[in-house]
Amino acid sequence: MSSPEIASLSWGQMKVKGCSTTYKDCKVWPGGSRTWDWRETGTNHSPGVQPADLEEVVKKGVKTMVIGRGMSEALQVPASTVDYLKKNGIDVLVLQTEKAVEEYNALAAQGVKVGGVFHSTC
């Protein structure tokens, strides 16, 4: 199963190929995607992305995780979150969201088992 292409990104809106939903923030993995609802884990811009935000995607067997920190990179990614991924044998890229989507789509096109979490505003 391949990772779905992110078809479009603009401020506050993301579309994933093959999915009718328009996301504000989203999680993607081989074979699927869904809304990334920060309220589920109590996530906020600081301290930022927590391992709990990534567990669902990690369980899908991804080899690479791409984290989009927002258009202005306001979303923090603590070292403990990066360490969590590395301990699970997962490569991690932490980038501004537009760059993150480009990298994610390039990896997906190469057939890499890539997952991602993307913040589409600040």
Cα separation, 86 vs 1, whole angstroms: 23
Distances (CA, A) of 77 to 33, 85, 93: 21, 12, 11
Examine the pLDDT at 10 and tell me if it is beyond 90.
yes
**Average pLDDT for 67-91:** 98
For the purposes of burial, counting CB atoms within 10 Å of the CB of 88, is it exposed (0-12), middle (13-18) or buried (19 or more)? middle
Q: Which residues touch 111 (CB under 8 Å, ≥6 apart)?
A: 2
Q: Average of pLDDT values for 85-93?
A: 98
Confidence check: pLDDT of 100 > 90: yes
Mean pLDDT of the chain: 97
Could you give the percent of the chain with pLDDT greater than 90? 99
Of 46, 49, 20, nearest to 118 by C-alpha is 49
The CATH T-level fold of domain 6-118 is: Hypothetical Protein Mth938; Chain: A, (3.40.1230)
Return the amino acid letter for 99. Answer: K
Percent of the chain at pLDDT > 70 equals 100
Segment (H or E) for 82: helix 79-87
- pLDDT at 1 > cutoff 90: no
